[in-house]
Amino acid sequence: MKSYQGKRAIVFGGTSGIGLATAALLAERGAEVTAVGPEADRPESLRNSTEIEWIHADVTCPNEIAAAVDTVSSRGPLDWLVYSAGIQRYGTADEASIEQWDLVHSVNARGAFVAAHFVVPKMTRGGAIVHVSSVQGVACQTSVPAYAASKGTLDTLTKAMALDFAARGIRVNAVLPGTVDTPMVRASAEMFSEGQSSDAVVASWGRTHPLGRVAQPREIAQAIAFLLSEEASFVTGALLPVDGGLLAQLAVKL
């Protein structure tokens, strides 16, 4: 399906996990796609890709975000922005360092603001932005105050931007994934494995979702692609759970 011909997209966090899957899906459907992320995260599939451009940028550095946007927009206006950069760090408020809090917020929330700051002036009317948030912006686990708060900030930023840019014809939405089989989740599984394999840990986390499994990155990418597309032309300011029913359930079982 080549339904996205003529669309120009920039995907921050596009070198790994959900961002990489999104970049691949948009390119597959005919969009001109630039994936932005650090060299260390760039997989072989992206190194060899002729369909997806890669640009190095550290999302904690506004100058690098600006340079990436300038490079892409020099070829013409941007239609779509996806912000999928994110990191997870653990520790309660008395355990985690202030530097850890600042880093998580810089990557997960501040970077989305900075990306919009530079992209929106280069965007076409009728453009669209999608933030990759998390169910943890709505409901929390233990030991994730920095991550959960950063995603809550991202959710509120999504709504504020949707209002601010509506008059320009730019829609802004967010997806809220549950557990997704990404490198970040695999790293967490290793951290909490207690002698089990990461496959076993991820499978156990999947069983806490009503659908009985974790998501694959492409499943989240498909929701992102919908929100970007004209099929979602009257959707803005929405926080779309893509969580296998996780937020719909109560912990108490009958």
Phi, psi (degrees; rounded to nearest 5) at 34: -120, 125
CA 139, chain centre distance (Å): 18
Whats the size of the chain, residue-wise?
254
Going by C-beta distance under 8 Å and a sequence separation of 6 or more, which residues neighbour residue 12? 19, 36, 37, 57, 59, 65, 81, 82, 83, 84, 85, 111, 112, 115
Q: What gap in Å lies between CA 134 and CA 154, rounded to an integer?
A: 9
Burial 101-127 (b: 16+ CB within 10 A, else e): bebbbbbbbbbbebbbebbbebbbeeb
Q: Which one from 4, 83, 90, 147 is the annotated catalytic residue?
A: 147
- Active site (annotated) includes residue 83: no
Q: How many CA atoms lie within 13 A of 4 on its CB side?
A: 24
Contacts of 232 (CB under 8 A, 6+ apart): 128, 171, 173, 226
Helices 217-228 + 17-28 axis angle, to 10: 60
- Residues marked active site are found at 147
